[in-house]
Structure 1
């Protein structure tokens, strides 16, 4: 397995606010600059499947492999000869939450995909997580 990138943010938003944004996959391009669109084939549950379209890249099928509301959301994208995994962990804290994201590649062609995707993901992961936190915080201010 190859670790591509890690990012973390502390936010005033609750874990529920992050999960609401992750569940609303059609809005991912609002906070993920590398994503053109995302479609989920049903409800946001463990085992759900969907397709995402990275900017400048091909449509990529994915599966929600772990979903523990308020704690963890992991999705795995199927690439030719590899699996790209995004693991999102949320920890409730006084006044908000801490969110950590780890991105890994595994499979026989992981080294190839690391050359193709690794730098781009590493360069944008923290920025996207920061924007997600700002979006989740704004959502909660609107709801109040």
Structure 2
């Protein structure tokens, strides 16, 4: 497994607001600018499947491999010969602020190829996506 990107922000926006944005996958294109659309086949839970369409790329299937509500979730996109994994973590720090961390990894026999194709774009875009996610979470507020 190779890490291709990480991003971290610290904010006063509550963790629940981030989780609400992540769970509403249809809204991802509003803050993830390289995503055309996302479809989740069922509820936001471990084992759920879906598909997404990156701008300029083919439709890609994914699965939510783990989910701890309000704290973390991991989704894995199934590429030809590789798995692209996004780990999403939120936690409340000792100072009461929220830390949001995203880590992207690649694994599999063709990971080297996909790193060349996708790696730089993901690494370059991830910090700005996280900043836009923070703005979307702030605007939406904490779910009831």
Q: How does the TM-score come out when normalised to structure 2?
A: 0.95
Residue 121 of structure 1 deviates from its aligned partner by 0.2
TM-superposition CA deviations, 1:45-92 (whole Å, max 9, x none): 011000000000000000000100111110000000000000011012
User: 2:25 — aligned with what?
Assistant: 25
| 1: CA distance, partners of 2:135 / 2:97 | 12
Alignment RMSD (CA, Å): 1.5
Give ranges in structure 1 of 5+ residues lacking alignment: none
- Deviation per CA, 1:93-143, whole angstroms, max 9, x where unpaired? 3444110000000000000000000000001000000110111011118x7
- Are 2:108 and 1:107 aligned? yes
Distance 2:43 2:11 in 1: 26
8 Å Cα contact 1:11-1:137 kept in structure 2: no
Task: Tell me which residue corresponds to 1:116.
Answer: 117
Residue 14 of structure 1 corresponds to: 14
- Distance in 2, matches of 1:52 and 1:139, equals 23
- TM-score, structure 1 as length reference: 0.95
Which runs of structure 2 are paired with 1:89-104 in the superposition (5 Å)?
A: 89-93=89-93, 94-104=95-105
Q: CA separation in 1, counterparts of 2:119 and 2:29?
A: 20
Q: Which runs of 4+ in 1 moved over 4 A?
A: none
Unaligned stretches of 5+ in structure 2? none
